Amino acid sequence: PYNPHWDMAFNLCHPCAIQYDYVIRTETIAEDAKYILDILSQGLDAPLELEIVHTRSNNTVDDVVDPTFAKVIESFEKIPKYQLEQLKEVYKHDMEAFGYDFDVQSREAVCAYDEHVNDLCC
């Protein structure tokens, strides 16, 4: 059955068809959310606030307390490089549209552009 969690964001968000004002990245979600809430709070009596943001950026198996997430990382590390290349091709449009690159050797996704670049996908 179809599961949107595994679908490409490109298919779900249509970044080339919709002119978004903001794109929030999971790596910087706390900072991005604060920035947007500050904008939305203009003219209000009290600022809008986000209570807490949980992130898992830069985790390794040794850092992870959540055993389920640790298993995900361990499983990812066992994927053969040729399959990672195939996976990279499947998510190619997402990587290009949202400014990421995936290095198969290091198994790391990195931001592939400066945060001030506009109109990346179209």
Q: Place 20 in a pLDDT band, splitting at 50, 70 and 90.
A: confident
Burial of 25 (0-12, 13-18, 19+ CB in 10 A): middle
**Structure-model confidence comparison of residues 62 and 97, the more confident one:** 97
- Give the integer Cα–Cα distance in Å for 104 and 109: 9
Which stretch of DSSP H or E encloses residue 76? helix 67-77
Residue 102, beta-bridge partner list: 109
Q: Place 35 in a pLDDT band, splitting at 50, 70 and 90.
A: very high
Say if residue 57's pLDDT is above 60.
no
Q: Place 96 in a pLDDT band, splitting at 50, 70 and 90.
A: confident
Indicate the domain borders of the chain.
4-111
- Give the integer Cα–Cα distance in Å for 108 and 122: 25
Q: What's the whole-model pTM score?
A: 0.61
What per-residue confidence (pLDDT) applies to 69? Answer: 78
User: What percentage of the chain exceeds 90 in pLDDT?
Assistant: 25
- Give the integer Cα–Cα distance in Å for 15 and 93: 10
CB 97 within 8 A of CB 122: no
What per-residue confidence (pLDDT) applies to 9? Answer: 87
Residue 101, beta-bridge partner list: 110
Say if residue 121's pLDDT is above 50.
no
**b or e along 32-53 (b: 16 or more beta carbons within 10 Å of the residue's beta carbon)?**
bbbeeeeeeeeeeeeeeeeeee
